[in-house]
């Protein structure tokens, strides 16, 4: 673009939006170019009727941007945002997601056709897939919109009710169709549609209850969370518990889904232990009811003692549930039910969902017991928030406006509720997942979460850009391989160890490697350090490939499988096997330890020294921080975490080779940390979990080869619209908003210069 030749901004914007639409057209769809005909891919994506849709998207985008100021007034009405979000979710669910795996396409329309042409399904299911779904969708959307636009409260309630009904119908109809057809199915379409309907219902409720002219979603959440701390958790527990006890499958030998009542009947005259029989018969309901009542009372009356009692009861009830589940499955295995080979097999989701529900109730009680006093507008400075923020109290104290304090106070309850819910899900959700997801949880998601937590120390806290982090992971893995005798070169017999005993060695060696790499290179500035660490990572990988002294067995990877770990305490012996779930719980323990350690570290003297070095190395040095030592420590601690992950990975996967340690993975871990929010522990965990979950999720939604492309798009969008990451660290957030606040008052031109950051 030349300066003498410039278009009016509106035209430029329109062109840009249309170009965006065209670009989207090239990305979406199954087309694939071929070597013989280079234009094939472009032709298929652009010279087709569907391009009109994408151009339309471009035009809509243009209209949305141009008339933003006009539209935004309406978008501020309470309920509008949930309405739009719910509609988007539903559209995505109905038109893009998979609903049933065994079908070729698996989309909703395919399934609907199949249902229509199948006889023997219930009338309700047929009607749902035939016309109910779109009638319900349109009806709810129109009703909610009218309710919001005309402020009709009654209509809002009606719309919410219909929406909830439609959501339940989705699950019922889909469950009916799938159980009729059989076959393994791990599609998400119906679940996402259910969530979409719930969001729509929320829109209706908001329209019905809100007295404000303008919606303030954040304040709304704060009000809800601060009304009775722990109440949302208890409500969730109630809903989940009812679902689990009344409708969910508890026991499923081959081709037979049994709810709690059915299961009790089935085991009525078998030699099931007395406790389990009692549990199936009445204890389950009683335990749930008692916990529910105590938790609800604790939350409602804000009784600290009752809260702790609820938490204790919940723990007892969960233990009882687990014992009963174990009893059921082992009895079933002894009795030779089909598909039940041993304890913990053949169980449906019911028992586990009950555990989640009980955990949620207990967590609600716990939150009620531990949140101090009434938190209202302009209340006391956020003691809870300060605890959560660890060392970032200074940043927290700076936010001195009443609104800021309120937010900090309320969010501490919110954060703790979410955290506890996350723990509950992490503990009890995986057993209900499909085998594919269990495997993905451990090998793809869990290990990389651990790695991201480690790299967060180096990048987020100490501000050192490390592009060779995977090298330490490799060192940890190969150390394990050596110590367990899986490499061609065997250790002396007294050093032959079980993988768990390799942990201290791997950590020690990675510490050493970190110091050895760090000592000569840490005086390099940001980008030079990046290339040096990158080089180091490549050197380690190439050494593994090139196999000097036949140590690493070259590109083929380890010679024989690394054995599974064993815990042998004399009286109790546990051997890990090929079941990913066992590793999941081991990983949870390791991750919990590491996170706890780092959480304490962040606020410690060392953590503050890291922050000082990151912000301004010269100033830190001047105030007496030994910068070299501090940076080396960050490097070494990060490296040892990576080594720990390496041990875990090596023993879980059994066979590994240098392909697992390519440069791309190092870069990806950096992306996880920054995506989640630099310097924030929860951010690193969330970022890594989301970005490793995404490709597994996309597996069913887009052509497999396109997954990386979509992840790239997600990365760009995230950085453009939320450069601070998913869950930014408090200290960083304060910096960023502070800087931006100052910047807007200065010359516009200066925005061309990136704000100076420590890295």
Partner 1 sequence: MNYLVLGLTRGSMYALIALGYTLVYGVLQLINFAHSEVFMSGAFGSFLVVHALVGDGGDTSGVKAVLVVLAGLTSGAVTGAVVAYFLERVAYRPLRRRGAPKLAFLISAIGASFLLSQLFGKLFNRLGNNQFPTYFDVNKQLFTLFGAKVTLLQVIIVVAALALMVFLDRLVSGTKLGRSIRATAEDAPTAALMGVDIDRTISRTFVIGGALAGAAGFLFGTAFVFSNTMGFIPGIKAFAAAVLGGIGNIRGAMIGGLLLGVAENLIPTAPWTGEAWIGNQWTDVVAFVILIAILVFRPTGLLGERLGRAA
Q: Which of residues 667-726 bind partner 1 (CB under 8 A)?
A: 667, 670-671, 674-675, 678, 705-706, 708-709, 711-716, 718-720, 723-724
In angstroms, give the least distance from the CB of 532 to partner 1: 5
Q: Using the rule CB under 8 A, which residue among 7, 15, 38, 403 binds partner 1?
A: 38
For residues 544 and 478, the answer to whether their CB atoms sit within 8 Å is yes
For residues 396 and 389, the answer to whether their CB atoms sit within 8 Å is yes
Token duo for residue 342? 């041993």
Span near partner 1 by CB under 8 A; candidates 229-237, 257-265, 323-331, 666-674 = 666-674
When asked if residue 395 is in the footprint of partner 1 (CB under 8 A), the reply is no
What is the C-alpha to C-alpha distance for residues 373 and 228, in angstroms, rounded to an integer? 11
In angstroms, give the least distance from the CB of 408 to partner 1: 22
Q: Which is nearer to partner 1, 335 or 663 (CB)?
A: 663
Give, for 31, the enclosing helix (H) or strand (E): none
Q: Which is nearer to partner 1, 504 or 695 (CB)?
A: 695
Q: Using the rule CB under 8 A, which residue among 176, 185, 538, 602 binds partner 1?
A: 538
Residue 98: beta bridge partners? 107
- Centre a 10 Å sphere on the Cβ of residue 429 and count the other Cβ atoms it contains: 17
Q: How many residues bind partner 1 (CB under 8 A)?
A: 71
In angstroms, give the least distance from the CB of 551 to partner 1: 15
When asked if residue 562 is in the footprint of partner 1 (CB under 8 A), the reply is no
Q: Which is nearer to partner 1, 33 or 161 (CB)?
A: 33
When asked if residue 743 is in the footprint of partner 1 (CB under 8 A), the reply is yes
Q: Which is nearer to partner 1, 184 or 708 (CB)?
A: 708
Q: Which is nearer to partner 1, 323 or 694 (CB)?
A: 694
Q: Per-residue contact track with partner 1, 476 to 515, x per CB under 8 A?
A: ----------------------------------------
C-alpha distances out from residue 35 to 32, 39, 40, 181, 313, Å: 10, 9, 9, 41, 65
Q: Using the rule CB under 8 A, which residue among 85, 423, 543, 694 binds partner 1?
A: 543
What is the C-alpha to C-alpha distance for residues 655 and 21, in angstroms, rounded to an integer? 45
What is the C-alpha to C-alpha distance for residues 368 and 674, in angstroms, rounded to an integer? 34
Strands 566-568 and 573-575: antiparallel
Q: Using the rule CB under 8 A, which residue among 49, 70, 622, 750 binds partner 1?
A: 750
In angstroms, give the least distance from the CB of 727 to partner 1: 15
**Contact set for partner 1, span 646-665 (CB under 8 A):** 663
Q: Using the rule CB under 8 A, which residue among 67, 131, 180, 528 binds partner 1?
A: 528
Q: Using the rule CB under 8 A, which residue among 520, 549, 570, 624 binds partner 1?
A: 520
In angstroms, give the least distance from the CB of 101 to partner 1: 24
Span near partner 1 by CB under 8 A; candidates 338-346, 507-515, 527-535, 626-634 = 527-535
When asked if residue 5 is in the footprint of partner 1 (CB under 8 A), the reply is no
Token duo for residue 381? 């400075």
Residue 288 CA to its chain's centroid (Å): 28
In angstroms, give the least distance from the CB of 34 to partner 1: 6
For residues 329 and 340, the answer to whether their CB atoms sit within 8 Å is yes
What is the C-alpha to C-alpha distance for residues 592 and 611, in angstroms, rounded to an integer? 23
Q: Which is nearer to partner 1, 222 or 538 (CB)?
A: 538
Token duo for residue 733? 């957030």
When asked if residue 35 is in the footprint of partner 1 (CB under 8 A), the reply is yes
**Contact set for partner 1, span 584-643 (CB under 8 A):** none
Span near partner 1 by CB under 8 A; candidates 135-143, 197-205, 497-505, 538-546 = 538-546
Q: Report phi then psi at 558, rounded to 5.
A: -60, 155
What is the DSSP code (8-state) at residue 103?
Answer: S
R_g of the chain, CA atoms, integer Å: 28
When asked if residue 26 is in the footprint of partner 1 (CB under 8 A), the reply is yes
For residues 444 and 580, the answer to whether their CB atoms sit within 8 Å is no
Q: Per-residue contact track with partner 1, 229 to 258, x per CB under 8 A?
A: ------------------------------
In the block, residue with structure tokens 């209850």:
209
For residues 381 and 397, the answer to whether their CB atoms sit within 8 Å is yes
For residues 537 and 669, the answer to whether their CB atoms sit within 8 Å is no
| DSSP letter string, 343-378 | TT-SB-SHHHHHHHHHHHHHHHHHHHHHS-S---TT
């Amino acid at each position: 673009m030349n300066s003498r030749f410039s278009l009016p901004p509106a035209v430029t914007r329109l062109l840009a939006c249309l170009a965006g639409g065209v670009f989207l057209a090239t990305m979406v769809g199954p087309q694939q170019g071929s070597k013989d005909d280079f234009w094939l891919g472009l032709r298929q994506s652009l010279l087709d009727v569907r391009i009109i849709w994408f151009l339309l998207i471009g035009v809509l985008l243009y209209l949305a941007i141009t008339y933003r100021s006009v539209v935004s007034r309406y978008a501020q009405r309470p309920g509008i945002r949930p309405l739009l979000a719910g509609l988007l979710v539903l559209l995505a669910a109905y038109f893009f997601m998979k609903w049933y795996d065994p079908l070729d396409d698996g989309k909703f329309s395919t399934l609907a056709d199949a249902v229509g042409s199948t006889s023997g399904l219930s009338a309700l299911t047929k009607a749902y897939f035939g016309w109910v779904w779109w009638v319900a969708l349109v009806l709810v959307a129109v009703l909610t919109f009218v309710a919001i636009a005309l402020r009709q409260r009654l209509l809002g309630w009606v719309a919410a009710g219909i929406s909830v009904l439609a959501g339940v119908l989705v699950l019922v109809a889909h469950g009916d169709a799938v159980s009729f057809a059989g076959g393994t199915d791990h599609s998400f379409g119906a679940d996402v549609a259910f969530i979409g309907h719930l969001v729509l219902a929320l829109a209706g409720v908001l329209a019905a209850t809100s007295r404000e002219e303008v919606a303030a979603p954040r304040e709304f959440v704060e009000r809800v969370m601060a009304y009775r701390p722990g109440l949302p958790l208890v409500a969730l527990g109630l809903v989940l518990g009812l679902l689990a006890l009344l409708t969910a499958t508890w026991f499923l030998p081959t081709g037979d889904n049994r709810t709690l009542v059915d299961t009790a009947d089935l085991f009525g005259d078998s030699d099931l232990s007395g406790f389990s029989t009692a549990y199936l018969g009445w204890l389950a309901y009683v335990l749930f009811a008692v916990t529910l009542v105590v938790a609800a009372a604790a939350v409602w009356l804000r009784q600290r003692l009752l809260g702790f009692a609820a938490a204790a009861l919940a723990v007892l009830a969960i233990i009882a549930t687990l014992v009963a589940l174990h009893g059921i499955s082992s009895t079933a295995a002894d009795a030779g039910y089909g598909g039940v080979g041993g304890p913990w097999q053949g169980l449906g989701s019911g028992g586990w969902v009950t555990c989640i529900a009980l955990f949620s109730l207990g967590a609600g009680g716990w939150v009620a017991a531990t949140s101090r006093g009434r938190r209202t507008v302009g209340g006391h400075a956020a003691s809870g928030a300060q605890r959560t923020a660890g060392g970032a109290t200074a940043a927290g104290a700076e936010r001195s406006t009443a609104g800021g304090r309120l937010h900090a106070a309320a969010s501490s309850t919110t954060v703790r509720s979410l955290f506890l819910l996350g723990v509950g899900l992490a503990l009890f959700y995986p057993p209900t997942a499909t085998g594919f997801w269990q495997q993905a949880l451990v090998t793809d998601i869990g290990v990389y979460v651990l790695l991201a937590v480690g790299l967060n120390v180096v990048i987020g806290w100490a501000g050192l850009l490390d592009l060779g982090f995977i090298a330490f992971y490799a060192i940890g893995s190969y150390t394990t391989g050596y110590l367990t005798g899986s490499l061609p070169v065997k250790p002396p017999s007294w050093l032959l160890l079980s993988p768990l005993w390799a942990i201290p060695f791997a950590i020690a060696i990675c510490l050493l490697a970190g110091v050895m790499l760090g000592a000569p290179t840490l005086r390099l500035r940001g980008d030079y350090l990046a290339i040096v660490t990158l080089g180091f990572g490549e050197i380690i990988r190439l050494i593994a490939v090139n196999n000097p002294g036949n140590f690493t067995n070259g590109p083929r990877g380890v010679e024989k499988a690394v054995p599974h770990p064993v815990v042998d305490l004399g009286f109790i012996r546990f051997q890990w096997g090929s079941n990913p779930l066992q590793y999941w719980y081991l990983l949870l323990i390791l991750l919990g330890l590491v996170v706890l350690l780092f959480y304490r570290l962040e606020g410690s003297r060392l953590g503050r020294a890291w922050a000082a070095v990151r912000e301004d190395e010269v100033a830190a040095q001047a105030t007496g921080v030994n910068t070299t030592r501090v940076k080396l420590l960050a490097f070494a601690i990060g490296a040892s975490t990576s080594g720990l992950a390496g041990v875990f990975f090596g023993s879980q996967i059994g066979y590994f080779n240098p392909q697992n340690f390519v440069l791309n993975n190092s870069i990806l871990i950096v992306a996880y940390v920054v995506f989640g929010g630099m310097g924030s522990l929860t951010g690193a965990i969330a970022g890594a979990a989301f970005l490793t979950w995404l490709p597994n999720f996309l597996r069913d939604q887009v052509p497999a080869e396109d997954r990386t492309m979509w992840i790239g798009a997600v990365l760009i969008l995230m950085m453009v619209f939320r450069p601070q990451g998913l869950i930014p660290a408090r200290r960083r957030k304060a910096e960023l908003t502070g800087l931006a606040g100052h910047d807007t008052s200065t010359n516009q031109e200066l925005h061309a210069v990136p704000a100076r950051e420590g890295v």
